[in-house]
Every structure is written in C-alpha cells, then in structure tokens.
Amino acid sequence: MEKEEKTSGSEIPNLGLSNRDIARQRLLNRDGTFNSRRVGLPFWETFNFYHYLVGVSWFKFSLIIFTGYVTLNLLFAVVYYLLGVDTHLLGVIANSEFDKFMESFFFSAQSFTTVGYGRISPVGMWTSSIAAFESLVGLMCLAIATGLFYGRFSKPVSKVLYSRNAVITSFKDVTAFQFRIANEQKSELIDVEVRVMFSILRDENSNSPNRKYYILNLEFSKINFFSLIWTVNHIIDNESPLNGLTKDDLTKGHAEFLILVQGYDDTFMSNVHSRSSYRHNEILWNSKFANVYGFDDEGRTTVSLDKISDVE
C-alpha cells in the first residue's frame, strides 16, 4: 500500500470493514467509530478493564470509583465487626450493634485512605494485622483510582473539527473533492498527515456486488504546522477513482469517504489521531467553501472556526 500511495486512486484491501458483497450502510461513523461488530469471542477475552475505565464518561467513572470505595470498606468493616468491635477496636462510640458496624466501617475508611485519625484504633493481633493489610490494599487500589483520574485528566484531546460537508467543486480548471478541517484546541499540531480513502459498491445491481476501496491522492497530504484551518484537496484527474462519477453514481454505489488525520501534539507531547467520514449524501456538488479569514482590532489575522462549514 505504501508504494501505491504515490499514484492517484490505487485500490487497497477492504480493511476488514465489511463483507465484500454487501455493506450498504455507513462504514465509519462521523465520530470515528466503526459501524461493525466482532462476535464469537467470550466477553472477558475482548474486554479490558483499563480500556473501559479510560473511555467511560466522567459520571460513570466517578460512580465506579465511589462504589468500589464503599464496597471495599464494607468488606473490611464486616471483617472488623466479626473480629469483635468491643475488644479489638479502641475508642469506639456506639449505642447499638448498628453503630458498632458503622464505626467498623469508618475505621476501615480511615485505614484505607491512610487518614488514620486514631480515635478508633486497632488492638490485638488479628485486627491490627488486618488494618495493616488494609492500608497496603488501600494504597494499591487508590493508585489505580488516582492514576486513572490523572490519566483521564491529562489525556491528549485532538479536537479536529471537520466541515459538515465535503464539496466537489471546480478548482484551477480541474474538478476537486475538498473538505476542511480545523484545529479546535489552542495547542499546535505538528507534522499533520491526512489520508482519504474512497469506498464504493461496484456492480451494485448484479448478483455479485463488490465493495472497492481506493486511496485518494491529495494535493498536500502532510503539513508541518496545523495551527488553524486546512482545506484538504483531492484533484479529480484521469487517474482518480472519482473520475467520471456523477452524484447519482455515488448514491447508487453507497459511496463513502473515510478520513484519517494524525499528527503530533506539542503540548501533550503525544501522537493524536482523529477519524471521520463523508457519505455520498454529505457531498455538496458545485459548492465552494467560504472565506474564514479576517482581522481583529490589532490588525492580526483571525480565523473564524465557526464558519468552517460555510459554503458559497
């Protein structure tokens, strides 16, 4: 595939995205997730808890941490309670068995977080040992919780903004396929590369329709800085797989343009990736993207990112 990238419109393998002879639905969603599902493997072989905790919403993440904290403390509370509150926990203030259990629970929480006020303190071999063990367990579990918390907080976000539509328009005497992307964040992206794959169903009315994939040649596929906005441009020349195709052809062929953007984020010091796609009905024909440049009061160039999708 590396060699073929040089030519305009080389066919590439089907990417494992779809059954060869169907896939009339969208392949890649606008948010970059794939529209296919793997089946046949037991849940635990494909599930990764870390992966889940990194990707889940902040609300669910907080709930999981909180629930885990309460559950573990309840478990230890039961142990302390069964070992005997009266004799093995010093300083307990309780009027009932329920109070005693709650004091066990709070003692557990104070050991788990290593806050250890000491109003309640362990006495005797077993309770002291369990408490010493709980502090170690607490430190280890909280390492996961705080590590994930910080990891989620510091995770690079590359909010690449895509224009709502792509356009097929005339440009410098030739027709071109274009879309715009913008760097929504204040950080600089460096060495940004865009790859565009075009997919279409061939012989869609025959008995053996066949989904084909092509990589599209771009006028520029890599830029050094990506500070503001970039109009990605594929010129539809004779060698382009789009050559001669009409709006109707794209619709019949369930055509889709898959976009892959990657670069290096200077602030997060990490590679960032973004995916999106344009389906045939998201292509505007004979439209041109509108100007987004202007000036501020101090004469500096401004770029209106809210106009990224504007066409004229």
236 in Cβ contact with 177 (< 8 Å):
yes
Q: Which is nearer to its own copies, 97 or 285 (CB)?
A: 97
255 in Cβ contact with 241 (< 8 Å):
no
CA quadruple 48, 51, 57, 60: dihedral sign: positive
CB of 244 to its own copies, least distance (A): 26
Q: Which is nearer to its own copies, 82 or 269 (CB)?
A: 269
Q: Which is nearer to its own copies, 205 or 301 (CB)?
A: 301
**Full DSSP string of 138-161:** HHHHHHHHHHHHHHHHT-----EE
Report the C-alpha gap between 214 and 245 in whole angstroms: 14
Q: Which is nearer to its own copies, 25 or 210 (CB)?
A: 25
CB of 180 to its own copies, least distance (A): 10
- DSSP state, 33? -
CB of 268 to its own copies, least distance (A): 8
CB of 76 to its own copies, least distance (A): 12
CB of 3 to its own copies, least distance (A): 8
Q: Which residues contact 280 (CB under 8 A, 6 or more apart)?
A: 247, 250, 251, 253, 254, 255, 256
Query: Which tokens hold the place of 232?
Result: 């990605």
SS3 call for 271: strand
Q: Which is nearer to its own copies, 185 or 247 (CB)?
A: 185
Q: Which is nearer to its own copies, 34 or 171 (CB)?
A: 34
Residue 197's CB: how many other CB atoms inside 10 A? 19
Query: H or E stretch including 167?
Result: strand 166-171
CB of 169 to its own copies, least distance (A): 17
Q: Which is nearer to its own copies, 248 or 301 (CB)?
A: 301
**Full DSSP string of 170-228:** EETTEEEEEEEEEE-SSSPEEEEEEEEEEEEEESTTSSS-EEEEEEEP-S-SEEEEESS
Question: What are 237's strand-pairing partners?
Answer: none
CB of 246 to its own copies, least distance (A): 27
Q: Which is nearer to its own copies, 137 or 165 (CB)?
A: 137
Question: What are 176's strand-pairing partners?
Answer: 169, 235
